Structure 1
Amino acid sequence: MGVFSAIGSFIMTPLYYVISAILIGFHKFFSLFLSPEGGTAWALSIVGLTVVIRTALIPLFVKQIKSQRNMQLIQPKVKELQKKYGHDRQKLGEETMKLYKDAGTNPFASCLPLLLQMPIFFALFRLLDQAAKNQTPHGFLTVDLATKFGEAEIGGVVPIYESFWGARTWGDTPDGGVMMVALVLVIAMTATTFFTQRQLMSKNMPADAMSGPYAQQQKMLLYVLPLVFGLGGIAFPIGVLLYWTTSNLWTMSQQFYVIRNNPAPGTPAFAAKQERDKAKAREQGIASGEIVPEPEPETDRRPAVREQPKRQSKSQRQAGSAGGQNQSKKKQRGGR
């Protein structure tokens, strides 16, 4: 047990210093125009922490998008391998991993931002929980700051360390205000997790990528992740729920921008971008005074019907031939 505790301390201690430094910096900033004793300044500091963390993860997000795009583009090749090696699962696995390696992608790349945020998530949870229960400082927090952080209340009513499950009670009745705020944040966290994944599948995946193993993995995550966070969220402090919901909103906005401006070929988002580009080109042409040609209406392009010569009798043909010979003789005499 001591070994695991040492490993956990080795991982979490640097995170305590990073997270506490960012929180204290934002708290000093928001205290310039908000009460430093109030919970609103601390709540906004948690939002600021989220923005800093997600900004630092932008390069990883770009790598994730590229990996997902490559996964989509190689799905037809994955299906070919399944048809070819369907009887040999070991060979199928080897060839599939080789294909992933050649394409520079990984089926688990889409989980990297989530996995990297989990230690930060637990560090914030621990930092807030210890500050609230024992006034224990971590990182750059002093005892005084840890106490203020642990006792911070949004609007002077809702403590940021409380959770839906552990809402404090007045007598035998749970605090309804805390439970309501926590429930709203749990629902918001669950909904944003679901719609973030659905946004990617419905807008930026080609049709032939919706039936392979990668699509099955994405469909499973689409329902499993929100369920996991929804069930676990009832035990998360309000401050942690605020962090995760803000992170999901950041992901949705970032993903919307990438899908809209740089969609994968063959996807609904790609077709929508082509239509916008065409409309923009027409508007620019009109603004510059250029005449933008309208598409030509469809016309009957069948070749004209040749007029067939009238049928003549034998005597008419002989008379015509004799007339032609007489005309030729007259031209010859005239030439002399």
Structure 2
Amino acid sequence: MDTIASLFSFITTPVSWIIVQFHKLYGAIFGPDTGWAWGLSIVSLVVLIRICLIPLFVKQIKSTRNMQALQPKMKAIQERYKSDKQRQSEEMMKLYKETGTNPLSSCLPILAQSPFFFALYHVLSKIASGEKIGVLNQSLVDSAREAHIFGAPIAAKFMDSPEKVEALNASLTDVRIVTAVMIVLMSASQFFTQRQLMMKNVDLSVKTPYMQQQKMLMYIFPVIFAVMGINFPVGVLVYWLTTNVWTMGQQMYVINQNPTPGSKAQAHYLDRLLKSVTSHSEVRGRRRRNVVQAIVAKGSDRNDNERRFIAGLAKAGFAAQANGTVEKSTDATAEAEAAGGARRQQPKRQTKAQRQSAAAQQGAAKGDEASSEEPKTSLEKDAPQDAKPKPAGKSPSGAARQAKSGQRKGQQRSKHQSSKK
């Protein structure tokens, strides 16, 4: 880890300078040697970095959605050119170029944070050994070594030896309890963030291998953080726990305000939007108007959530316009009522016993019709044309039975006559 941290030593001076500036602010409030002053300095460093990374986070969200939408096409390309890897790569790059998708965009926030993360690790390691680094002079290093967060020095680790912890004026039990709690919170926040993304902000109508990979990462990432966390100083754990909580809150905001089309989050968002429109008779806010405008522009390509939203507007007597606004429409109300009436006129669902009884009745009726349409017998063909018609009161089934009995009697008389001859 020291080798990796040394690779990012070029940024240790800016990181140490930022920490010192925040330490001056919090030191004037809580005292320069307190854990609150140094701990809040690290938290403020995280907040500053994440604010600067908001554009990359937005790019990550867009890239993730584009990758989800492209999964069926990517799978088709892999199946089509599975024997030609070069052509497969070319078609993949062509697809990325046509859709403006960059597969690496989803990793940009993590890649951008990594230099600050390892620089902070390098700074805390030097503080633990009592060495100057960046703009941290010896007095600031000694002050940071004396700072404790809930009894654990900010430079102590879970795997440190008792002698090293005692040199930092702390007990090994306090250090391990504090670091264990932070590791659990760090892993839990990572798991909840990934689960929130998978359960609420994924288009459930698209089943792709990408979703299975995301589910695996949901369980793998927390385990990785837990294993790595035992080798992180308390200050680094504070940094990583803060950035996980920030990511969780930032993602929750994005899911609520700009959900993925076809996801559960979009269904909840459109329900809230429909209630707002029906209560205020207008679409409030430019962002909401942009959402309605995009739904109207889709036309027949709308998903189930968007179709329900348009139907709900029509039922309330509103019609969505191309500019994202809504207008009162009597035609929309009439169409919604007609659609509702058509749904109410549908027959009720029958039980299994009712379906079997109806099928038996239909089978009996078909059997009676088939019996009445049987071909006439030889005696019926030879019967005189002026024979008396049968009474209308008799049922077709009775006529069929008489025809069958006549046929049997005719055959017996023919045999009797031949024997006389």
Is TM > 0.5 for Structure 1 vs Structure 2? Answer: yes
Shift of 1:139: 1.5
Which deviates more from structure 2 when the two are superposed, residues 17-26 or residues 50-59?
17-26
Match in the other structure for 2:200: 203
Pair 1:60-2:103 in alignment: no
Matches of 2:161 and 2:117 in 1, distance apart? 20
TM-score if structure 2 supplies the norm length? 0.63
CA distance in 2, matches of 1:9, 1:240: 16
Match of 1:284 among 280, 285, 289: 280
Output the amino acid matched with 2:246.
Answer: W
| 1:161 pairs with one of 155, 161, 176 | 155
1:189 to 186, 190, 197: 186
**Which structure is larger by alpha-carbon Rg, 1 or 2?**
2
Residue ranges of structure 1 left out of the alignment (5+ in a row):
303-336
- Kindly indicate whether residue 80 of structure 2 is the aligned counterpart of residue 37 of structure 1: no
Quick check: 2:9–2:122 contact (8 Å CA) kept in 1? Answer: no
Q: Does the Cα contact within 8 Å between 1:282 and 1:292 map onto a contact in 2?
A: yes
Task: Call closer, same or farther: CA 1:154–1:245 in 2, change over 3 Å.
Answer: same
User: Could you list the per-position Cα deviations for residues 11-33 of structure 1 after superposition, in whole angstroms to 9, with x for gaps in the alignment?
Assistant: 422x1121112111111111222
What is the 5 A alignment of 1:299-310? none
- Given that 2:5 and 2:118 are in contact with CA atoms closer than 8 Å, whether structure 1 keeps it comes out as no
Is 1:152 equivalent to 2:147 in the alignment? yes
1:136 to 131, 134, 140: 131
Q: CA deviation at 1:174?
A: 6.3
CA distance in 2, matches of 1:49, 1:202: 31
* SS of residue paired to 1:139: coil
Letter in 2 for 1:158: A
Contact 2:127/2:144 (CA < 8 Å) preserved in 1? yes
| In structure 2, distance between residues paired with 1:59 and 1:259 | 16
- Please give the alpha-carbon distance, in whole angstroms, between the structure 1 residues aligned to 2:5 and 2:188: 31
Partner of 1:315: none
Greater RCO, CA 8 A, separation 6+: 1
Task: Please state whether the residue corresponding to 1:36 is helix, strand or coil.
Answer: coil
Q: For each residue in 1:151-210, what CA deviation from the matched residue of structure 2 results, as whole angstroms up to 9, or x when unmatched? A: 31125x221111222163699x96222211100100111111222222222222212544
How big is each residue's C-alpha offset from its partner over 1:115-160, in whole Å with a ceiling of 9 and x where there is no partner? 2222211111111111121x212211111111211231125x2211
Structure 1 segment 1-336 matched on structure 2, within 5 A: 11-13=8-10, 15-133=11-129, 135-155=130-150, 157-166=151-160, 168=162, 175-212=172-209, 214-285=210-281, 296=337, 298=341
Residue pair 1:192, 1:249 contacting (<8 A) in 2 also: yes
Distance 1:184 1:167 in 2: 19
RMSD over aligned CA atoms reads 2.8
What runs of 5+ residues in structure 2 fail to find an aligned partner? 283-314, 318-332, 347-421
Contact 1:167 1:179 in 2 (8 A): no
More divergent stretch after superposition (236-245 vs 98-107): 98-107
Query: TM-score normalized by structure 1?
Result: 0.77
Deviation at residue 277 of structure 1 after TM alignment: 0.5
Contact 1:164 1:183 in 2 (8 A): yes
Percent identical across equivalent pairs? 44
Q: Is the 8 A contact 2:42 2:239 kept in 1?
A: yes
